[in-house]
Amino acid sequence: MSADDPTMSTDDKTVDDQVTAGVLQVARQARAAAQVLAPASREVKDRALWAMADALVAATEAITVANAADLAAGRQAGLSPGLIDRLELTDQRVADSAEALRALAGLDDPVGQVVRGQTLPNGLLVRQTRVPLGVVGMIYEARPNVTVDAVGLALKSGNACVLRGGSAAGRTNQAILQVLRDTLVRQGLPADLVQSVDQWGRSGAVALMRARGLVDVVIPRGGAALIATVVQQATVPVIETGVGNVHIYVDAAADPDMARPILMNAKTQRVGVCNAAETLLVHAGAAPAFLPQALLELAQAGVRLHGDERTAVWAPPGVTIWPATDQDWATEYLALELAVRVVDSLDQAVDHIRRWGSGHTEAIVTNDLAAAQRFTAQVDAAAVMVNASTRFTDGGQLGLGAEIGISTQKLHSRGPMGLTELTTTKWIVIGAGHVRP
């Protein structure tokens, strides 16, 4: 169990009444604040987003000082390199978070958009219109950038948010939330649009996921244990974000000089994220031209390689291939580790992905249009890439401004969840004294 995993033992399943009362009060305040925000114009929300972005940049030093303390505590507690990477906020990452808020301000406001509408033969005017969800709960771990993204997305889409960001990022999140809440007040909006239940620890997370009727949806974002806990124990509706056991398949018709940079970017650019590649599948026909140099570059980048016997054949001198097991095919490493398998066909690659994939992101590298079309049609995932790095499965990269998570379920939303995914719809029916016959 990680330091930020809210999984409960059998001895602490009963949440303290005082904790429950505190979390419910927070949820009520958030609900009242959401009602104030719901009718706000785009101009009001965009001004607040710009102001929050400027305030974050101005507070960079205070935020990174708090983050340094969290990083030191995390290393002492033995957090994995992947979690440390997610936890770290550099000056540039603070600036990037601020820029994400500005990008959100530049996007269309989904609230009020008409999804469909018509005038019926009887004269009734019918419109299905986008409206905010209301109060969004977020439970996540060691990801202070998510704090900014969640607040920005919730604000622009007309929602309040209640956050449980975990003890590993406690100081950082507190510093960020103070900046954002103060900015909301200066913009004439309720500070209670943005709240945290971190002060109540894991019990607060449990109370939040059970605040049905006050919290409209809970979104877990983190490791498999955290997500499973929320899905299994929540009484509030859950949008499930999934782990990223992500594959890259190098087809027989792949250009090796295209495939290698895609692989290196997907695996090594940032290892502690859900869209990083974890397994490489290589067609036997592509192996001679692709694998020796690819394995060498991976090893030189510090990647520990787990491969089958056919992969080991192509390893250049000095490159170690550790025997791969079923555990390797199933693992989201979130580290400089990669599982590698040589396959005989596209169908075999697809079968491997169907067995071991998590439905997050899968990629094919090929110059064969028919192979690309078969792969995209047969692979069941939230995102499928053709000749592109899996690192593009990201709200900001796909033009959503930011994301609150990547959904691997199929109800309500799938893939990166941006502004539209934080709305629901309302049917508005306008008559002129109509009665049903």
Nearest to 295 by CA among 324, 338, 266: 338
| Stated pTM of the model | 0.82
- The C-alpha angle with vertex 88 and arms to 301 and 403, in degrees rounded to 5, equals 95
What separation in angstroms does the CA of 96 have from each of 84, 334, 343, 349, 396? Answer: 18, 22, 40, 36, 10
- Which domains are assigned to the chain? 17-241+409-429 (3.40.605.10), 246-392 (3.40.309.10)
> pLDDT in tens for each of the 437 residues of the chain?
344 443 343 334 456 889 999 999 999 999 999 999 999 999 999 999 999 999 999 999 999 999 999 999 999 999 988 789 889 999 999 999 999 999 999 999 999 999 999 999 999 999 999 999 999 999 998 889 999 999 999 999 999 999 999 899 999 999 999 999 999 999 999 999 999 999 999 999 999 999 999 999 999 988 788 888 999 999 999 998 878 999 999 999 999 999 999 999 999 999 988 999 999 999 999 999 999 999 999 999 999 999 999 999 999 999 999 999 999 999 999 899 999 999 999 999 999 999 999 999 999 999 999 999 999 999 999 999 999 999 999 888 888 877 888 888 888 888 888 899 999 999 999 999 999 99
DSSP, residue by residue, 131-180? EE--EEEEEESS-HHHHHHHHHHHHHTT-EEEEE--GGGHHHHHHHHHHH
Under DSSP, is residue 329 helix (H, G, I), strand (E, B) or coil?
Answer: helix
pLDDT at 223: 78
With beta carbons less than 8 A apart as the criterion, state whether 34 and 193 touch. yes
Task: Give the whole-angstrom CA distance, residue 175 versus residue 161.
Answer: 17
pLDDT at 14: 55
pLDDT at 77: 94
Under DSSP, is residue 312 helix (H, G, I), strand (E, B) or coil?
Answer: helix
Can you give the C-alpha Rg of the chain in angstroms? 23
